[in-house]
Amino acid sequence: MAGRALVYGGKGALGSTIVSFLRSKNWWVVSVDLFANEEADSNVLVNPEASWTSQETEILEGLSTTLSDNRLDAVLCVAGGWAGGNAAAADMVKNADLMWKQSVWSSAIAARIANLHLKDGGLLTLTGARPAREGTEGMMGYGMAKAAVHQLTKSLAADKSGMPANSTAVAILPVTLDTPMNRKFMPNADFSAWTPLQTVAETFLQWMEGNDRPASGSLLDVVTVDNQTTFTAA
């Protein structure tokens, strides 16, 4: 076994790619998601009808049983989603609520998981969004949620944050990931400017192994141009 990792959102497009890639590299992987990932070594399921605090309780109880006394080398939170809407949209608040649940609830619970189960010197990654560094008038709920993830990342890197000793907390800030759903809904887009999921998985493994790991608190713009992807500290 090369190491132990948790993928929060392990059944989504990016999460599934990460689980599959890590398993191919002999990592033990536990997936946390609404649905089980058959490729993962273990699964902890999230009840979408539960409150934020109830989700936390159920997930932490499931992990305590699954991990026993074993510690994680990495907690990779790639849960999330997208919804639009400005202040004139009737569903703006409804969509904002969904974005908060998908991105902020998961990120905060991932931070709790890191406190309880991450090794000293381990890695926590959260998923923000590059557009949320500025105003997002056409997707206000999405922008608010992702900006909160950016703030949480900075807080986790501070002294007395509750993170394990010498651990690293970073957030990736992609623009557009090359997922099947994005291709379905944007079939005429320039795919050479979309970030391949495999590239994210490979970069995470590099950081997990201690190679070119960014400084804790880094918000990393993930930009792809002409099929070449860079991760640059914002």
Q: Which of 142, 194, 207, 231 is catalytic?
A: 142
- Residues 4-11: what's their mean pLDDT? 98
- Residues 118-147: what's their mean pLDDT? 96
Percent of residues, the chain, with pLDDT higher than 90: 95
Integer Cα distance of 57 and 41 in angstroms: 21
DSSP 106-143: HHHHHHHHHHHHEEEEEEEEEE--GGGGS--TTBHHHH
How high is the pLDDT of residue 129? 95
Task: Give the CA-trace dihedral at 198, 202, 204, 210, to 10 degrees.
Answer: 180
Q: pLDDT tens for residues 31-54?
A: 999 999 999 999 999 999 999 999
The amino acid present at 232, given as its one-letter code, is T
Residue 119 has pLDDT above 90, yes or no: yes
Integer Cα distance of 177 and 120 in angstroms: 31
Residue 112 has pLDDT above 90, yes or no: yes
Q: Which residues contact 141 (CB under 8 A, 6 or more apart)?
A: 83, 85, 92, 93, 95, 96, 97, 98, 99, 100
Longest CA–CA span in the chain (Å) reads 52
How high is the pLDDT of residue 224? 96
- Residues 104-111: what's their mean pLDDT? 98
Report the SS3 class of residue 180.
Answer: helix
Residue 234 has pLDDT above 90, yes or no: no
Q: Chain-wide mean pLDDT for the chain?
A: 96
Q: Which position has the token pair 């709920």? A: 141
Integer Cα distance of 194 and 223 in angstroms: 8
Q: pLDDT tens for residues 123-136?
A: 999 999 999 999 99
142 belongs to the catalytic site? yes
Residue 81: both structure tokens together: 């989603």
Q: pLDDT tens for residues 58-79?
A: 999 999 999 999 999 999 999 9
Q: pLDDT tens for residues 153-184?
A: 999 999 999 999 999 999 999 999 999 988 99
Domain at 3-233, CATH from 3.40.50.720, 3.30.70.1250, 3.40.309.10, 3.90.180.10: 3.40.50.720
For 141, what's the count of Cα atoms within 13 Å in the CB-facing half-sphere? 23
Report the SS3 class of residue 56.
Answer: helix
Residue 209 has pLDDT above 90, yes or no: yes
